[in-house]
A and B are shown apart, each in its own frame.
Chain A
Amino acid sequence: MTTFEITEKDAKKMNNKIIQLWRFIMLNLKILKAVDHSKRS
């Protein structure tokens, strides 16, 4: 029995273009934060 499942609501969010644009920006910000550290080494 799983404690986490992907619901229909989640599935809709996964293809909602506005939400996904926000997530795309956030993912890039996260990578940039890590890259910033990496480039300074």
Chain B
Amino acid sequence: MTNVVVIGSGFAGQTAALYLGAALGKKHNITVINKYDIFGYTPSWVWVGVGQMEPEKTIFKLKPVYDKFHINFVQGTAQSIYVDDQYVLVDSADGGGETKIPYDYLIIATGAKLNFSGTPGLGPHDGYTTSICSLPHAMDSRDRLFEAMARMEKGEKQKIVVGAGHPGATCQGAAFEYLTNIHKVLEKKGLRDKAELLWLSNEPQLGDFGVRGLRVRKGDRMLTSEEFIRAVFELYGIKWQVQTGVRKVEPGKIYWENYDGAEGETEFDFAMLIPQFLGPGFTYYDKEGNDVTGQMANKGGFVLVDAIYGLDWDTLADTPEAWPAVYQNRKYKNIFAAGIAFAPPGSISRPFVNPNGLSITAAPPRTGMISGIIGRIVALNVIDLVKRGRMTHAERMTEMFAACIASMGDSLWDGSAATIVIYPVVPDPRTYPNEEGRDLFVTDMEMGLAGAWMKRMIHTTFMHKLQGRIGWQYIPE
């Protein structure tokens, strides 16, 4: 009997668990370790954050799903991994102390550690900004936004700032969606003229989203994501400031540096800024009890896998095979990392260091669909290894598609959304020898009601899939 352990039950972990449970659950030991006993559907927390969706609609209990798939569930926080002795040390949530969970194969799918302390004054706990990166954060954002709206109703003007809260932040797509939803909510309530909205981001240009932006064919011309997002912001009266790294936040004031090295400050009444994402930050030990974390993870705590690390950006941009294919640690081949937890070989967007030596670089996004796809690839390979002793699945981010749907209101009748479909996520100039390095049929961006339908469809189908309901495996990640 083989022990397979998955740490984390976000998009990557939950997808992996379902495939593993369905294929191996009856004959082998599949165990999921997660801090909470619920799954949270992160993309819809944007709607929770503007009061357009009840928090309960974005979560479900994990245990009943795992029971159906013959998966053991351990609620607790994984602390350290003993790579030679092959066990995970878990701090149980029930107060039962530390538990050893043995594994033959380990999938690390923890998602991101939100590093609010990377920017002094950032975040809802010890800082002055809000976040939509967890459900409690999204609910806190909603409450603080409502307070700002109450002030607007009294006639006060409010400045709302949304974007990246760290020079190396990622997930700009979610922040963009939050901003456009705020615009729509304010418009509906007749308060739009009482608010100044600002997009503050570390992207090299508007519409970059950490994926080097995109260009699509529209009729007889090529349209860039920069032109597209600029047009959306102009239509909605949203101001923007890109090429900016947030350094510090104080009550009502954001301090930043830009590409030129200039320092400045932006005042705000309400700010939702995405923090830097870090890896799981486990400590890894070998059989002698030596700390081998440096061999297993990079400085950010992300797990090293089968990528080619250390290439300069221009070389990386021309080397699709530098991106990992099977997400397997090179030294400990029974350890895999899925979703945000794996260490990417570099950024997709061009990195930038300003004259003061500050790196202002949008990190590559690995959330949502990308996480789900990697979770499936890793699970199918572990199933292969258990059953046949060799892996048969591989998919690099240079072969992977992603859809980013930034809703602007949730109505299925008069809502709207900017839909961005990217294929592949990381440009591959060899397979697609055009200027974009992408498939120009699939890669698209447009705005309209169809996007609102897509967003709702994806929410419904993913919640169905991730609960392992009938036909779950036919719904793409």
| Partner-B contacts on A (CB < 8 A) | 2-6, 11, 13-17, 19-21, 23-24, 27-28, 30-35, 37-39, 41
In the assembled complex, B230 has its CB within 8 A of some CB on chain A:
yes
Number of B residues whose C-beta is below 8 Å from A?
36
Q: Can you name the residue of chain B whose Cβ is closest to the Cβ of A34?
A: B401
Within 8 Å by CB of A6, from B421, B447, B449, B454, lies B447
Q: Which residue of A lies closest to B218 (CB)?
A: A4
Can you list 22 A-B pairs, Cβ within 8 angstroms, ordered by A?
A2-B227, A2-B230, A2-B231, A4-B231, A5-B231, A6-B447, A13-B448, A15-B416, A15-B449, A16-B449, A20-B450, A23-B450, A27-B421, A27-B451, A28-B454, A30-B442, A31-B442, A33-B442, A34-B421, A34-B423, A38-B401, A41-B399
Q: How far is the CB of B351 from chain A (nearest CB, A)?
A: 27
Question: Chain A interface secondary structure, helix, strand, loop or mixed?
Answer: helix
B235 near A6: Cβ-Cβ < 8 Å: yes
Interface residues of B in 432-456 (CB under 8 A from A): 439, 441-442, 444, 446-451, 453-454
Q: How far is the CA of A19 from the CA of B230 in the complex (A)?
A: 24
**Given A6-B234, A14-B448, 11 other A-B residues pairs in contact with their CB atoms under 8 A:** A2-B231, A6-B232, A24-B450, A27-B419, A27-B454, A28-B454, A30-B421, A30-B441, A30-B444, A31-B421, A39-B476
Q: Is A33 in contact with B395, judged by CB distance below 8 angstroms?
A: no
Residue pair A4, B223 in contact (C-beta under 8 Å): yes
> Please, how many angstroms separate the alpha-carbon atoms of A23 and B477 in the complex?
21
Whether a CB of chain A sits under 8 angstroms from the CB of B73 is no
Q: How far is the CA of A23 from the CA of B439 in the complex (A)?
A: 18
- Known interface pairs A2-B227, A31-B476; A17-B399 also in contact (CB < 8 Å): no
Whether B234 and A5, one on each chain, are in contact in the complex, defined by CB atoms closer than 8 angstroms, is yes
- The answer to whether the Cβ of B400 comes within 8 Å of any Cβ in the partner chain is yes
Note all chain A residues with C-beta closer than 8 A to B227: 2-4
Min distance, Cβ A26 to any Cβ of chain B, angstroms: 8
B151 at interface, CB cutoff 8 A: no
Measured in the bound complex, the distance between the Cα atoms of B235 and A25 in whole Å is 26
Contact assessment for A31 and B401 in the assembled complex, using a CB-CB cutoff below 8 Å: yes
Which residues on the A side are within 8 Å of B414 (C-beta)?
Answer: 15
Nearest A-chain residue to B396, judged by Cβ: A41
Cβ contact within 8 Å between A20 and B449: yes
Closest 7 CB pairs of A and B: A34-B401, A14-B448, A23-B450, A24-B450, A4-B227, A20-B449, A35-B476
Known: A35-B476, A38-B373, A41-B393. A2 touches B234 (CB 8 A): yes
Judged by a CB distance under 8 angstroms, whether B394 is at the interface is: yes
A4→B393 contact, CB < 8 A:
no
In the complex, the answer to whether B400 meets A38 with C-beta atoms within 8 Å is yes
> Which single residue of chain B is at the shortest CB-CB distance from A36?
B476
Also in contact, A14 and B449, with CB within 8 A (given A33-B442, A34-B442, A38-B401): yes
Which residue of B has the minimal Cβ distance to A32?
B476
Query: How many angstroms from the CA of A19 to the CA of B450 in the assembled complex?
Result: 9
Asked if B228 is at the interface of the complex by the 8 Å CB criterion, the answer is: yes
- B476 near A38: Cβ-Cβ < 8 Å: yes
Which of these, B223, B234, B394, B403, contacts A31 with CB under 8 Å? B403
CB closest residue in chain A, given B475: A35
Q: Are A27 and B447 in contact (CB under 8 A)?
A: no
Q: Give the CA-CA distance A32 to B449 in the complex, in Å.
A: 20
By a CB distance below 8 angstroms, the chain A residues around B400 are 38
**Is there an interface contact between B232 and A41, defined as CB atoms closer than 8 Å?**
no
